[in-house]
């Protein structure tokens, strides 16, 4: 108000005309705009409307009843608007900002007072397709799916950020929009349709709108963003000089060996080599005999020798409640109650910060004894949780960072490093060379796609047919990870 009193009347009128526009029924809407986008906020239902001036296309949101904007909270400047949104018994603090770097995009910051973590909030509303015939672009546990919006009931966990890459989009295969989450989230590990993903608050969401490019343009947009925020990341081809074994990730096979003895394993690799398989990675699970002669023999054939390891333990060692980390974050589970009912040693096994020195020592020993060139860390990047151990407590974000350090420190020993198996999160990209399970559409724990335990030779028959049809349908399956990071991470 003090600023308005000092401004002359012509300047005041110019600011107001730029900051408010007429909506439906003559309602005045808080508005910000640049040469490309016009963004308006409805006071009556708290929805956002975006007009792409390049093609005169209007984007609206899927409104939930019962939401409104507290009119006395609205603040508008030439590049941002903010307000307090009320709905379903909650209060949200909304800030929408234009950026000079991306005239076709805007950033949305959503704070939920007195909440550090929250399940998927009811607000902001998702944008809906402006016309019929559009598709939902869904990131899965690895790659992606192109789902027709006319069959919305077939979309699993729509408009959330529970997949490998934290973005979703809409497209008609030419025009498109993307909603990218730029803040921490811990994806739900449950295979059902209920989304138990938890988000750190405030949420920062980046929305961008495209006149061409379709879903490939969305993947490239995320690639450009991620690489700009991780300048230390180098393409796989640039890693070969320091670690020559990385070259075997290109056009190679990835084989787990289960022979009765080392001689049988080596014989199989020789047979594959003779059959023309020049590049390969021989993996050992650690449940049968392996010796140095076997590893050296495999390397002499031009293959890479790797070993499956778990530097960190399984979350179920702490609690059989599969969703306990997110329940803890959202206050559904009391910390003192969980700590009292758990074995204190189990917290040692899930805490990346605590385990880092121990793992470095174990890795050096294994490299010395077997001449290893690769480590695969099963679920290291999947099983995130806060640590409640009184001697080494850590937040879930600190645990994530510590696990990234495990990956990086292992790579610094000259190893190829892989993880995944259930989720291939992009936060781990600076520490991995490959993801196992990257080409999967759903987590290994999804019973609809799972090979029954101990039944690898079982004929799944018709029980698998429906899901296999979707998994192998080239009109639905889209290589989102390979479009974004084909030269930065390999996949199986």
**How close are the terminal C-alpha atoms of the chain, in Å?**
60
Yes or no: say if 151 and 190 are a contact pair by the CB < 8 Å rule: no
* 188-213 pLDDT per residue, tens: 866 566 788 999 999 999 999 999 99
Residue 15: pLDDT band (50, 70, 90) is very low
Q: What is the total residue count of the chain?
A: 492
Q: Using CB atoms within 10 A of its CB, is residue 373 exposed (0-12), middle (13-18) or buried (19+)? A: buried
* 127-169 pLDDT per residue, tens: 999 999 999 999 988 888 899 999 888 888 899 999 999 999 9
Please identify, in words, the CATH class of the domain defined by 2-229.
mainly beta
Kindly state the tokens that stand for 186: 């811990």
By C-alpha distance, which of 33, 56, 41, 47 is closest to 103? 33
* 25-35 pLDDT per residue, tens: 556 799 999 99
Which numeric CATH code is attached to 236-491?
A: 3.20.20
Kindly state the tokens that stand for 194: 């209920």
Could you count the other beta carbons within 10 Å of the beta carbon of residue 320?
Answer: 8
Distances (CA, A) of 471 to 14, 397, 460, 475: 55, 33, 15, 10
Which backbone phi and psi does 32 adopt, to 5 degrees? -130, 150
* 277-324 pLDDT per residue, tens: 999 999 999 778 899 999 999 999 999 999 999 999 999 999 988 899
> Hey, is 255 helix, strand or coil?
strand
What residues does each domain of the chain span?
A: 2-229, 236-491
What span, in angstroms and rounded, lies between the C-alpha atoms of 208 and 31?
Answer: 17
Could you count the other beta carbons within 10 Å of the beta carbon of residue 75?
Answer: 12
Facing residues of 255 across strands? 282
What span, in angstroms and rounded, lies between the C-alpha atoms of 441 and 156?
Answer: 11
Q: Is pTM, for the whole model, over 0.85?
A: yes
């Amino acid at each position: 108000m003090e600023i308005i009193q000092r401004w002359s009347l012509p300047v005041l009128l110019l600011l107001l005309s730029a900051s408010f526009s007429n909506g439906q029924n003559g309602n005045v809407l808080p508005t910000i705009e640049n040469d490309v986008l016009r963004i308006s906020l409805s006071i009556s239902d708290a929805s956002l409307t975006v007009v792409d001036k390049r093609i005169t296309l209007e984007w609206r949101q899927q409104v939930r009843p019962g939401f409104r904007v507290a009119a006395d909270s609205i603040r508008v400047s030439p590049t941002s608007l903010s307000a307090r949104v009320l709905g379903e018994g909650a209060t949200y603090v909304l800030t929408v900002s234009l950026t000079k770097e991306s005239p076709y995009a805007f950033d949305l910051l959503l704070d939920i007072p007195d909440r550090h973590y929250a399940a998927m909030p009811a607000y902001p509303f998702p944008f809906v397709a402006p016309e019929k015939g559009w598709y939902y672009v869904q990131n899965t546990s690895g790659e992606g799916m192109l789902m027709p919006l006319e069959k919305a009931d077939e979309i699993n966990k729509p408009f959330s950020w529970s997949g490998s890459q934290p973005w979703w989009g809409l497209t008609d295969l030419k025009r498109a929009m993307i909603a990218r989450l730029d803040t921490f989230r811990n994806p739900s590990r449950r295979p059902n349709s209920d989304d138990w993903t938890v988000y750190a608050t405030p949420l920062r969401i980046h929305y961008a709108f495209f006149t061409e490019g379709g879903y490939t343009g969305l993947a490239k947009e995320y690639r450009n963003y991620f690489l700009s925020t991780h300048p230390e990341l180098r393409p796989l081809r640039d890693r070969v000089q320091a670690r020559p074994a990385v070259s075997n990730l290109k056009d190679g096979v990835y084989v787990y060996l289960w022979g009765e003895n080392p001689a049988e394993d080596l014989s199989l690799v020789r047979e594959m080599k003779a059959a023309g398989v020049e590049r390969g990675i021989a993996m050992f699970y650690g449940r049968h005999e392996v010796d140095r002669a076997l590893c050296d023999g495999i390397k002499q054939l031009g293959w890479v020798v790797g070993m499956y390891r778990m530097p960190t333990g399984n979350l179920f060692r702490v609690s059989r409640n599969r969703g306990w980390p997110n329940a803890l974050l959202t206050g559904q589970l009391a910390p003192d109650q969980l700590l009292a009912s758990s074995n204190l040693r189990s917290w040692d096994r899930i805490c990346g910060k605590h385990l880092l020195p121990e793992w470095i020592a174990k890795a050096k020993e294994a490299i010395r004894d077997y001449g290893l060139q690769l480590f695969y860390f099963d679920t290291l990047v999947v099983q995130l949780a806060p640590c409640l151990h009184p001697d080494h407590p850590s937040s879930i974000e600190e645990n994530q960072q510590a696990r990234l350090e495990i990956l990086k420190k292992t790579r610094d020993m000259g190893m190829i490093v892989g993880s995944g198996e259930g989720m291939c999160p992009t936060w781990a990209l600076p520490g991995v060379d490959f993801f196992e399970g990257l080409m999967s559409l759903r987590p290994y724990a999804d019973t609809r796609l799972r090979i029954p335990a101990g039944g690898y030779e079982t004929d799944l028959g018709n029980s698998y047919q429906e899901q296999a049809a979707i998994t192998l349908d080239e009109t639905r399956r889209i290589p989102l990870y390979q479009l974004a990071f084909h030269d930065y991470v390999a996949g199986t």
